[in-house]
């Protein structure tokens, strides 16, 4: 399970190569917002070449591709997909995600997979929810068989909804309500927890740590970064402590032994009853140890 996703402009091949060693669990090669309209073709070609060069690389961060949204420019989404998937992209970051755009992406990916001889649904999608329509459909999006996890894009979403933003530290309650919709939808669908929003103030790392901790406590498992300086803070927040890992390992050990004896609950080292719900939390801690 990834902790950090670092955005990298798709038209900067030098930055993509450099970003491989910056500590992020995953890179998002961006063909959308970071690329001017007249640079889209060059960015697409550059990202495809970058992916092809890394094909089969055993180590390093996963590279996702943020494609252009459906409906932005005629044919642009399909051009992106037909370039990057044959080059090796296996996870697409879909902006402005809603059911209609998800269906469009699924149809194109199904055609590409057939052309390449890939098994069905070989390419996964991270659905970036950035619109009122996407938010209304978030539960259905989370249940789509291609969706690996959800992410929230708050700049576009708050603009679409007319939510007024104040200073850096004050997150309006309305935004927390939207965030929790993604957490609930993800849990109900049984997919990985959602990815938190970017923080555009990359100089205030203390504030980033505080806001990222709040996201983790609310059920998020990762966060996107727009600057390499943010990656270390995000990784630290989403990495469980050694003590936390030790407690989780002990709980799982006790519970598994209890189940092997035919019991559905156990008692921990402090005399407290532990059931399956507690163990799910412990297993989630253990899944976050490596971040990959």
Q: What is the mean pLDDT of the chain?
A: 91
Give the per-residue pLDDT at 250: 86
Give the per-residue pLDDT at 106: 97
User: Maximum CA pair distance of the chain?
Assistant: 66
Confidence (pTM):
0.89
Residue 42: which pLDDT band, with cuts at 50, 70 and 90? very high
Tell me the pLDDT tens digit for each residue of 121-141.
Answer: 899 999 999 999 999 999 999
Please say whether the beta carbons of 182 and 208 come within 8 A: no
What tokens appear for 237 in the block?
């927040």
Please say whether the beta carbons of 5 and 225 come within 8 A: yes
Q: Is the pLDDT of residue 156 over 80?
A: yes
| 67 phi and psi angles, rounded to 5 deg | -85, 175
Residue keyed to tokens 């209890």? 258
Residues of the chain with CATH 3.20.20.60: 4-238
Give the per-residue pLDDT at 167: 61
Sequence-distant (6+) residues with CB within 8 A of 215 are: 179, 196, 223
Average pLDDT of 145-174? 88
Q: Which helix (H) or strand (E) holds 91?
A: strand 91-94
The candidate with the shortest Cα–Cα distance to 176, out of 150, 156, 154, is 154
Indicate the burial class of 285 (C-beta count within 10 angstroms; 0-12, 13-18, 19 or more): middle
* Domain 4-238 = CATH 3.90.180.10: no
Tell me the pLDDT tens digit for each residue of 47-76.
Answer: 999 999 988 776 889 999 999 998 877 789
Give the per-residue pLDDT at 239: 92
């Amino acid at each position: 399970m990834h902790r950090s996703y670092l955005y990298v402009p798709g038209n900067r091949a030098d930055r993509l190569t450099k970003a491989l060693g910056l500590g992020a669990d995953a890179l998002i090669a961006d063909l959308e917002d970071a690329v001017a309209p007249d640079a889209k073709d060059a960015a697409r070609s550059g990202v495809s070449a970058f992916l092809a060069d890394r094909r089969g690389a055993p180590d390093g961060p996963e590279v996702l591709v943020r494609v252009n949204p459906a409906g932005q420019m005629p044919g642009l989404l399909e051009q992106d997909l037909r370039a990057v998937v044959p080059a090796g992209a296996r996870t697409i970051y879909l902006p402005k995600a809603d059911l209609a755009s998800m269906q469009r992406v699924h149809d194109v990916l199904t055609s590409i997979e057939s052309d390449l001889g890939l098994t069905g649904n070989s390419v996964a999608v991270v659905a970036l929810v950035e619109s009122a329509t996407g938010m209304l459909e978030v539960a259905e999006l989370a249940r789509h068989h291609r969706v690996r996890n959800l992410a929230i894009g708050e700049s576009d979403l708050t603009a679409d909804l007319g939510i007024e933003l104040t200073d850096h530290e004050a997150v309006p309650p309305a935004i927390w309500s939207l965030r929790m919709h993604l957490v609930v939808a993800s849990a109900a669908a049984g997919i990985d927890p959602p990815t938190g929003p970017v923080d555009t103030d990359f100089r205030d790392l203390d504030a980033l740590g505080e806001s990222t901790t709040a996201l983790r406590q609310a059920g998020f498992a990762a966060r996107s970064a727009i600057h390499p300086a943010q990656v270390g803070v995000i990784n630290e927040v989403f990495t469980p402590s050694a003590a936390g890992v030790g407690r989780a390992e002990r709980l799982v050990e006790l519970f598994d032994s209890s189940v092997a004896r035919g019991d559905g609950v156990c008692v921990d080292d402090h005399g407290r009853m532990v059931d399956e719900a507690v163990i799910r939390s412990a297993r989630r801690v253990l899944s976050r140890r490596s971040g990959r």
